Structures are given as C-alpha cells and as structure tokens.
Amino acid sequence: MLEVKELHQHYGSSHTLRGISLQVKQGECLALLGRNGVGKTTLLKCLMGVLPVSTGAVVFDGKTVTNLPPHHRAKAGIAYVPQGRDIFARLTVEENLLMGMATLPAKRAHTIKAEIVELFPVLKDMLQRRGGDLSGGQQQQLAIARALLAEPKLIIFDEPTEGIQPSIIKDIGRVISMLRQRGDIGIILCEQYFDFARELADQFIVLSRGEVVAAGAQDTMDSDDVKRHLAV
C-alpha cells in the first residue's frame, strides 16, 4: 500500500533524513519509534507532502506521489493525525468532524457516520461544544475520529499518546487495534513508547539521527535494544 524508497530530506544545510526506506501493507501496523528530534515527524510530513523531499520516492497504492501536494494525497486515501492534534478550536465538534470529509464526494460529505462517533462515546454528547473547550485527551479522540471520517486507506498517527491521560490512551489503543484487525487499512504509528507500540504493531522501524538503526517484525525485535535507542 505504501512504499518509501531511499528518502532523503534537507532543511537548509541539515541532512534531516538519510535514506529512509519502509513498506506498509494493507491491514498492517508499522510502528515508527525514536527519541525526540530524530526525524520522525519530519518523515511523516514528507509522506503527507507538507515537507518536500530531496531525493527518493513515495509510492502509494501503486502510484508515485512524491511530488503531490497534501490535499491530493488526502484525496488518494492518506489520513494524518498530527502531533498536537491541530483541531479547529473555534469550530464545534460536529463542524470539526464534517471537515474530515472534505475530500469525499458531496453526497457522502454531509452525514457523520454513527459508527465512527461510537468509537469515542464522549464525543456524542459534545457535538455542539467548541473544539477548544475539550480536554487534550478529548481533542485527540476528535482528531482521530475526524481522520477516520475521510475513509482512508492509510492512517498516520503522530505520537497519539503524548500528554494524554492513561484511560484515554487505552481507548486510543483499542481503536488502533480494531482498525488493524479490520484488515482493510494500513497504519503508521509514530511513538516514543515501545510498550504501547509493541501491543499494536506488526513491523517496527527505529530512527536515530535521521536514519534507520533497527527494523523488523514484532517477534524479531530485541526489546532491550529498541529501548536503548529510545532512552534519553
């Protein structure tokens, strides 16, 4: 579903990503791990087209999308739940959810699917509240629900547990697990916490200083080695 080939990225004179290659199959969850500042979010923004790549290729669903702008990638079926959530604070929860369907045909873009809101019951009672009035955990749930309403083929989570209370982390984990078991969507889970990712991911990639330092299937990854790369 997604293939990244020898991707390099520069920010000014800094070589931020160095030859990153990865694959995500339909129904598979890939965990992208690494400390702060190693290039995880930069990589995700390159996948979404928010940042340009220097060299390399991004292939999605059999088509090269390396130079496509973000809205074209979204329309192709890539959804992004950004770090920090980035919900529309002055819009209501309902309006935020409707924004998630902006890439869908008009006939399907005005009705919020009940099953999506059912994933996060707290949102059902807050549809008319402003997004900015929600707690951080509730905003994260809103951001995930908004992304799912785009009916993506691939969904990217950028550190969804950051600053979130444990009870909501469990809810987020439950939803990611459900999506993985459904089998019709690819998932990239960007995380700092190996224990959370280990329960959900099929494949792992660990970044350090903009390059892959460890990669493999869940049952081949050495926990101590991975945690060594994640330690501050």
- The answer to whether 205 and 212 are in contact (CB under 8 A) is yes
Rounded CA separation 128/35 (Å)? 38
CATH number at residue 29: 3.40.50.300
Q: Inter-axis angle of helices 166-182 and 136-148, to 10 degrees?
A: 10
Domain that holds residue 200: 2-84+151-230
Give the per-residue SS3 of the chain.
CEEEEEEEEEECCEEEEEEEEEEECCCCEEEEECCCCCCHHHHHHHHHCCCCCCEEEEEECCEECCCCCHHHHHHHCEEEECCCCCCCCCCEHHHHHHHCCCCCCHHHCCCCCHHHHHCCHHHHHHCCCEHHHCCHHHHHHHHHHHHHCCCCCEEEEECCCCCCCHHHHHHHHHHHHHHHHHCCCEEEEEECCHHHHHCCCCEEEEEECCEEEEEEEHHHCCHHHHHHHHCC
Question: Is pLDDT of 232 > 70?
Answer: no
Provide the pLDDT for residue 110.
78
Over the stretch 185-225, which tens digit does the pLDDT of each residue have?
999 999 888 888 988 999 999 999 999 998 998 888 777 77
Least confident range from 76-85, 106-115, 192-201: namely 106-115
Tell me, what's the pLDDT at 129? 95
pLDDT in tens, 135-188: 999 999 999 999 999 999 999 999 998 888 888 899 999 999 999 999 899 999
The pair phi, psi for residue 121, each rounded to 5°, is -55, -30
Distance between CA atoms of residues 191 and 41, nearest Å: 10
Residues facing residue 8 across a β-bridge: 55
- Structural domain contains residue 124: no
Model confidence at 26, pLDDT cuts 50, 70, 90, reads very high
pLDDT at site 220: 80
Residue pair 214/229 in contact (Cβ under 8 Å)? The answer is yes
Residue 103 lies in a domain: no
User: Would residue 93 count as lying in a domain?
Assistant: no
pLDDT reported for residue 106: 80
Q: Is residue 129 part of a domain?
A: no
Half-sphere exposure of 14 (CA within 13 A, CB side): 9
Mean pLDDT of 17-36: 95
The tally of domains found in the chain comes to 1
Percent of the chain with pLDDT over 70: 99
Phi, psi of 91 (to 5 degrees): -90, 155
Mean pLDDT of the chain: 91
The answer as to whether 64 is a domain residue is: yes
Q: Is residue 159 part of a domain?
A: yes
Going by pLDDT thresholds of 50, 70 and 90, the confidence category of residue 231 is: low
